[in-house]
Amino acid sequence: MKKSKYYLFIVLAMTLVMVLSACGGSGSDSDSKSDSDDSKKDADSGEASGEQVFNMIETAEIPTGDPSLATDAASFIVFGQTMEGLYILDESDTPVPAIADGDPDISEDGKEYTFKLREDAEWSNGDPVTANDFVYSWQRAVDPDTGSEYAYMFSGIIENATEIMNGDKDPEDLKVEAEDDFTLKVTLEQPVEYLDSLLAFGTYLPLNEKFVEEQGDKFGTNSDTMLANGPFVLTDWDGSGLTWKYERNDNYYDKDNVALDEVNVQVSKEPSTAVNLFETDKADRTAALSAEYAQQYQNDENASTFEEGSSWYLKFNQERDGKDTPLANENIRKAIAMAFDKQAYTDTVLANGSVPTGGLVPRGLATNPETDEDFREESGDLMGTDLDKAKEYWEKGLEELGEKEITLDYLSDDTENAKKTSEYFQNQLETNLDGLKLELKNVPFKVRLQDTTKQDYDIVMHGWGPDYLDPMTFLDLFVTDGTNNETSYSNKDYDKLIDDAKVKYANDPEKRWEAMLEAEKLLIEEDTVIAPIYQRGRLVLIKPTVKGLEEHLFGPDYSLKNVYMEN
């Protein structure tokens, strides 16, 4: 997720996605996570005590309340609290039935799924959640007129999705059918082994057709133009403000197991402000801390750490305003990718448990179906720091371009952490590559997403979090003309590897795995479309009275449903 999700990251600490968008076990040693095994608390059970109000800090505004248009972590966090699809994630990041009433019936060829829906699920306006809500939402997402950047997540998955996106078929031709109000039939292009985790993702959420059509262009622009079918209802969001609330949804089918009455969220882009709010008991949880505060609080009893599934990297734009940028030169890209110290960056600038990485796919996401070896470990370090090679590539690239010096802009967020990161990379790259000048452009998270989408940048600090539990959630970002490519990168060999992994080897896990390994090597080591930097960790402060907070490796960063206050 375009955690481009923040995840979407330091967007939220460095910010993400978005994304867009676009994003295994959590690996968390958080005290709050350890309570999740028995975290379903009824407010009347005696285990939740006192006022059930949770106050928390975030670091980025909500870009959109429309699941079809969202690509970022901030928006998907909201959907994770207010909406449910066929599946949701449990405390171990395992997809479990939500609106689906148990497991589906699956045809022998693995292509037809028939889901029975629970009949007690309602929208916050009292309407029942029906099979047509899924049909409408999915057709809307793949409709080119909607402009969903995440429509590609249906391509190659649901039959006819690709043809619809290309304008060759109508949205109504998408092979998803409401056989009756509570029976949903889905036909796939080919078997998909990660389908359950995909169906837990935000773009696959249902939408109330009548409500959405009544709202028109206003849908999802503020809390009054949104509906919920999950544990909470979003309130007090004006579409651009720095505060909002979640209130318990009285129409939620499992409301008796939701203890919190209210969650107050405040955006604070300055870590010092967030820490002060926490220390003065005005906040029960901070967002990820900057290096200064992470070092200060790493041994504090209120500190909680978590290694995320998000990867962060420098993204190189090869074409801008219809013209090649200097980054269209492969040697220039390789030089920049090798010319900074990742270890020093994670140790001194982040200091929050983040780890350097030499690839795109993070560790902990997926393992070899035959050997059980982690994808990141097997793929290895595809791009490391090497100043001598960097200078060689740089000189060769300058010669090919006929230039002695190059000026590039560097796009990132406007948080304190992001500004420090920008300065770090400016210093590293200008010092190590003679003739390079970086002009820093620090903008609000929402603006960064917009500029990246328009390819109005040279280099952008970009993050992506997994949308489902498979390396493909990262690798298919860079196919030719992909909606999240945003670099003008195009390689037929890369496209074929991705297509083979999705289609040709859909029923051959070992060959599929090999194709994905080869694709990552081509993307990073050979073509150097991006410069991998780190897999993000986060250190937050959370009061010991907060119980049951679940953090996730993919999808929304966390879930509030099972949180209760032990006052």
pLDDT at 1: 55
164 close to 481: Cβ distance less than 8 angstroms = no
**Are 456 and 488 spatial neighbours (Cβ–Cβ below 8 Å)?**
no
Amino acid 16: pLDDT: 33
Q: Cα(476)–Cα(162) distance, rounded to whole angstroms?
A: 14
Q: Which residue has the tokens 């003309």?
A: 481
Cα–Cα distance for residue pair 334/330, rounded to 1 Å: 6
Residue 201 sits in the same domain as residue 334: no
User: Are residue 462 and residue 330 in the same domain, yes or no?
Assistant: yes
- Same domain? For 189 and 337 the reply is no
User: Is residue 502 in a domain?
Assistant: yes
H or E element in which residue 109 lies:
none
What pLDDT, in 10s, does the model give residues 486-538? Answer: 999 999 999 999 999 988 998 899 999 999 999 999 999 999 999 999 999 98
pLDDT reported for residue 212:
98
What residues make up the domain containing 399? 308-537
Same domain assignment for residues 389 and 511: yes
pLDDT at 417: 84
Residue 501 located in a structural domain: yes
Domain holding 416: CATH number? 3.10.105.10
CATH code: domain of residue 183: 3.90.76.10
Q: Kindly state whether residue 180 falls inside one of the protein's structural domains.
A: yes
Structural domain includes residue 187:
yes
Residues in the chain, pLDDT under 70: 1-46
Residue 69 placed within a domain:
no
Within 10 angstroms of residue 395's Cβ, the number of other Cβ atoms is 15
482 lies in the same domain as 364: yes
Residues 473 and 329 occupy one common structural domain: yes
Measured CA to CA, the distance from residue 326 to residue 18 in angstroms comes to: 25
Distance CA 158, CA 188 (A): 4
Which of these, 546, 550, 55, lies nearest to 278 by C-alpha position? Answer: 55
Task: Pick the last residue of a domain from 172, 207, 242.
Answer: 207
Measured from the Cβ of residue 298, the count of other Cβ atoms closer than 10 Å reads 14
Domain boundary among 180, 207, 234: 207
Are 193 and 313 contained in the same domain? no
Query: Is the residue at 560 inside a domain?
Result: no
Does residue 321 lie in a domain region? yes
Does some domain include residue 6?
no
Domain boundary (189, 207, 225) is at 207
Q: Let me know whether 324 and 194 are in one domain.
A: no
**Both 373 and 515 in a single domain?**
yes
Number of domains in the chain: 2
* Cβ atoms 532, 382 nearer than 8 A: yes
Do both 405 and 528 map to the same domain? yes
Q: What whole-number distance in Å separates Cα of residue 545 and Cα of residue 280? A: 15
Distances (CA, A) of 321 to 25, 328, 406: 42, 13, 18
Decide: 17 and 83 in contact? Cβ < 8 Å.
no
For 87-102, give the DSSP string: EEE-TTS-EEESSB-S
Give the model's pLDDT for residue 17. 33
